[in-house]
Homo-oligomer: A and B are copies of this chain.
Amino acid sequence: LQSGTLKQVKHSLRVLTPVQLARVIESSPPHTRSVIWELIGKSARTELIEELPEDIQSFYLAQMNTEDLVELTETLETDDIVDILQNLPDQITQQVLEAMSDQDRERVTAVLAYPENTAGGLTNTDTITVRPKFTLDVVLRYLRRHNELPPSTDSLIVVNKKDMYLGLLPLATLLTKPGDTTVREVMVTDANPISADLDESDVAKLFEQNDWVSAPVVDEQGKLIGRITIDDVVDVIRETADHSFMGAAGLDEEEDTFATTARTTPRRALWLGINLITALLASSVINLFQDTIDKVVALAVLMPIVASMGGVAGSQTLTVVIRGMALGHISRNNLGWLMSREVRVGIINGLLWALVMAGIAGLWFGDWRISFIIAAAMIINLITAALAGALLPIGLKAMRIDPALAGGVTLTTITDVVGFFAFLGLATYFYA
């Protein structure tokens, strides 16, 4: 980008699709972003905005006036409008809603009523519904009157006069069954519609398990609200998986790779501060044993090994359990088995590496007491790590703390404290 003249750049930007343009913006440092934003026209900006990830999107939305925002919402699907409105200050949301047509406002308000992370919040209201009494030929003629179908339409939704959900009419059925069949005869009724208050992660599981492309959403009374399409579910799946990965480093799954220093620093600082407190806790344990270390300085050399091995073993258990919980594998019934397996693995691997480490320590310092001490401490810490790794995510979840975020820090605090305490405590006993 730097090499061309502005005119050349402007020209090459013009041939990009909104999706490609969004990729360029995502992959550009802040300065390049503002240059591109200035160069592309106003209409390109509108198309671009809906393709941007949330973090960058909200930055540009904050700069737009209400008039532009209203114009922007006119081209979007209901759930995308709702996503955008939820990122705006309440006052501006109200202004945008007031400026909409009555029909649009009604649709958007219906979806806005549901929390962002539920099925309701993912719902598109643009559906094509049919009545059960019609024949397929009538439905085909009815569709011909449309210029196009809403994106990802793989089924029409069958409802009664009161808009209550009855079943689905897949396009494939419509195309392969005889034209004089009625909708009622061929509609699919074996899949339950999604309830609007279902959690979005459960929605994703249903889509994954049943290979759905779209699914109808109903309210408590069974009345059709709209449908959820696979493209929005894919975003949920990606975000849920990223959440575990990013959360372990105290980062948000929507994190903008090229956020400015000013935006990045405070977020990271908080996480480092939390870690400093836990590190001080571990240090205060070491502090208890100053006299012993003063006597046998080799202890200072070896003590990080015990803590580190516990941290690694614990994070393996923690990772398996957090993922198992995310996939819905873990319940009260099987937790006992899982914990006992983790403890068995901890004991076996603890014995294995404790033996190896005992050999190394003995040869290194020519002192077989230290071999015994480090081996015993390692076994204690690996069993602790197994128990902590399995119980922490469940305990944290029960306390409504996000295990993906807090699990890792809490775990290493435990394995550091127990590791230092076991190693230095045993040493104090044997060298006293």
Contacts and interface: CB of A to CB of B under 8 A. Distances in A.
A334 interface: yes
Interface in A278-321: 278-280, 282-283, 286-287, 290, 293-294, 297-298, 300-305, 307-309, 312-313, 315-316, 318-320
A192 interface: no
A264 B342 CA distance: 9
The 9 closest A-B pairs by CB, nearest first: A241-B241, A149-B172, A211-B231, A300-B300, A257-B324, A29-B337, A249-B319, A245-B245, A279-B305
A374 B239 CA distance: 38
Given A211-B152, A257-B320, A319-B246, A27 B328 contact: yes
Contacts of A207: 234
Interface of A: 1, 19, 23, 26-29, 32, 51, 140, 143-144, 146-149, 151-154, 171-178, 207-211, 213, 229-231, 233-235, 237-238, 241-242, 244-246, 248-251, 255, 257-258, 260-261, 264-265, 268-269, 271-273, 275-276, 278-280, 282-283, 286-287, 290, 293-294, 297-298, 300-305, 307-309, 312-313, 315-316, 318-320, 323-324, 327-331, 333-334, 337-338, 341, 344-345, 348-349, 352-353, 356-357, 360, 416
Contacts of A231: 208, 211
Q: Which of A250, A316, A337, A348 has the most CB of B within 10 A?
A: A316
Given A1-B333, A268-B345, A320 B255 contact: yes
B316 A250 contact: yes
How many copies the complex holds: the figure is 2
28 contacts: A26-B327, A29-B337, A32-B334, A143-B175, A148-B173, A152-B154, A171-B172, A230-B230, A250-B316, A251-B316, A251-B320, A255-B323, A257-B323, A258-B334, A258-B341, A260-B341, A261-B345, A264-B341, A264-B345, A268-B316, A269-B349, A272-B313, A273-B356, A279-B309, A286-B301, A286-B304, A290-B298, A293-B300
A274 to B, nearest CB: 9
A215 to B, nearest CB: 13
Contacts of A143: 175-176
Contacts of A268: 313, 316, 345, 349
Nearest to A382: B272
Given A154-B154, A172-B149, A294-B297, A302 B283 contact: yes
B208 A348 contact: no
Nearest to A209: B19
Q: Which of A28, A153, A234, A302 has the most CB of B within 10 A?
A: A234
A165 B252 CA distance: 42
Contacts of A146: 176
Contact of A312 (B154, B271, B338, B341): B271
B272 A349 contact: yes
Contacts of A305: 276, 279-280, 283
Nearest to A211: B231
Contacts of A298: 290
